[in-house]
Amino acid sequence: MTNVSAILLALALVAALAGAAGLLVLRWYRRSTGMPGVIGRDTDVVSSDTGAARSVLLRDRELGLRGGPDYVLEERGADGTSQLVAMEVKPSRRSARLYESDEVQLGAYMIALRSTHGERAARHGYVRYAERTFRVELSERLEARVRAIVAAVRAGRRAAVVHRSHDVPARCANCPVRDRCDEALV
C-alpha cells in the first residue's frame, strides 16, 4: 500500500468514526432533552449545522434570505409521504413561552426552506428550549412579520442614522455597540 492510499484510508476511518460519534451524540441529545416527541421513529435528520448531518444552505431570493436552521428534519406520515421541517435549538433557554425573536428566526428559515424545496417543505417547524419544544406554524401573520423585519433591516442598512427600536434597559446593557450609541438607556 502506498503512502497516499494509507493516508486516504486513515482519513476515511476518521470520517466514519466522526459520523458514528455524531450519531451517538444525537441519540444522547434526544434522550437528554426530551426530543423523542420531535425526532422520533418516523423522523430523520436531513441537515444539521451541529455536525449531526451535512449542512445545507437554504435561500429565498425574493427576500434575500440565506442560511440554515440547526436541523432540517424529514417527517414521514402514516401514508408514506414526507415533509421537510426546520428546527432551531436553544439549549440554554428556559421559558414557558416562545420568544418572538425565536419565532421570527424560525419563520425566516421556514420561508427559505419553502423557497429551496417547494412542496416538500412543511408549513410548521420547531423551536426547542432546554425543557420544552414549541411547534410554530408558518401563518400569514408570521410571514408578514418576517417580511416587515427584512424590510426594516434593509432600510436600516441604507440609513445614515439608525435609532434605538426599544425601551428595554437590559437590551442596551448587553448591546455590543452601547459605548458608541447616543440613545443607550444604560
Q: What's the pLDDT tens digit per position in 19-75?
A: 544 555 555 555 444 444 466 678 889 998 887 788 889 999 999 999 999 999 999
CA distances from 101 to 14, 45, 108, 155 (A): 38, 24, 11, 19
C-alpha cell at 31: 434522550
The chain-wide mean pLDDT, for the chain, equals 83
- Residue 7: pLDDT band by 50, 70, 90 thresholds? low
| Mean pLDDT in residue range 90-102 | 95
Least confident of 11-15, 124-128, 141-145, 180-184: 11-15
Which residues share a beta bridge with 128? 89, 133
Residue 125 to residue 84: CA distance in whole angstroms: 9
Contact 136, 145 (CB under 8 A): no
CA distances from 177 to 81, 160, 167 (A): 48, 16, 16
Cα end-to-end span (Å), the chain: 67
Amino acid, single-letter form, for residue 99: Y
Residue 83 to residue 119: CA distance in whole angstroms: 8
Only one residue has cell 423523542, namely 36
